[in-house]
Amino acid sequence: MTDPTPGRGPGPDPAAGLLAQEHRTESGIEKLDRNWLELLQELRVLQTGVQILAGFLLTLPFQSRFETLDQFQRTLYLANVSLAALTTALILLPVSVHRRLFRQHLRSALVANADRIAKVALSGIGLLSVGTSALIFDVTAGRAAGLTAGLVLLTVLFVLLVLVPSRLRRHAAPAKRP
């Protein structure tokens, strides 16, 4: 542990923070409230990313060079716009459901379903990033570069969003066992 006196010592020990979280004393409803607030914060981060990509995509048809896109590029563009709209709807869904179910004591179902929805929305923004990058590379550097960029980013996102969390969960599981 570190010295808790302000201005002294290297700062809080991250491992101590993790241990404190594992031994948290909170009621079931407090845990649901905390999980809901954490989920809302994650949705805010996702929403910002989708808004930036969607805003970029929505400006493209008003550019003079947009007329030179071939059929593949137009299809990829429209797929990206559709994915941006769908992902935005998914991010808004938990908030909308919360508003409709407010004070009906359904927090547990709301948190569980919102968690699933957030995972799908995360996949959506990942695919939107891949599609947008592929489109930009395709238009600026050619079809092979576009397909390569899309495939490379898809692979990187799969590693970061799927494999890394799975690995962390596997390595953390033995530490929890008595």
> pLDDT, tens digit, for every residue of 129-168?
999 999 999 999 999 999 999 999 999 999 999 999 999 9
121 is in which domain, residue-wise?
Answer: 28-151
Question: Cβ distance 50 to 84 under 8 Å?
Answer: yes
- pTM higher than 0.85, yes or no? no
In-domain check, residue 156:
no
Which pLDDT score, from 0 to 100, does residue 102 have?
Answer: 75
Q: How would residue 106 be classed by pLDDT, with cut points 50, 70 and 90?
A: confident
Residue 101 resides in a domain: yes
- Provide the number of structural domains found in the chain: 1
Instruction: Tell me whether residue 2 is in a domain.
Output: no
* Residue ranges in the chain assigned as alpha helix (H): 14-22, 28-59, 71-101, 107-141, 143-158, 164-176
- Name the pLDDT band for 100 (thresholds 50, 70, 90): confident
Whether 53 is in a domain gets the answer yes
Contact criterion met (CB below 8 Å) for 127 and 83: yes
Asked which of 11-20, 52-61, 153-162 is least confident by mean pLDDT, the reply is: 11-20
Beta carbons within 8 Å of 54's beta carbon, 6+ residues apart: 81, 84, 85, 88
Looking at per-residue pLDDT, the higher value among 147 and 18 belongs to 147
- Say if 143 falls within a structural domain: yes
- In 10 A of CB 35, how many CB atoms? 17
With 90 as the cut, is the pLDDT of residue 173 above it? no
Buried b (16+ CB within 10 A) or exposed e, 43-72: beebbebbeebbeebeebeeeeeeeebeee
Token digits for 15?
Answer: 């491992």
125 in any annotated domain: yes
Q: What is the pLDDT of residue 15?
A: 53
Q: What is the rounded CA–CA span in Å between residue 161 and residue 134?
A: 19
CA distance 176 to 178: 6
Mean pLDDT to the nearest integer, 26-41: 88
Query: For residue 96, is it within any domain?
Result: yes
pLDDT score for 67: 93
Q: Which residues contact 114 (CB under 8 A, 6 or more apart)?
A: 36, 39, 43, 93, 94, 97, 98
The predicted structure's pLDDT at residue 176:
54
Confidence label for 10 from pLDDT (cuts 50, 70 and 90): low
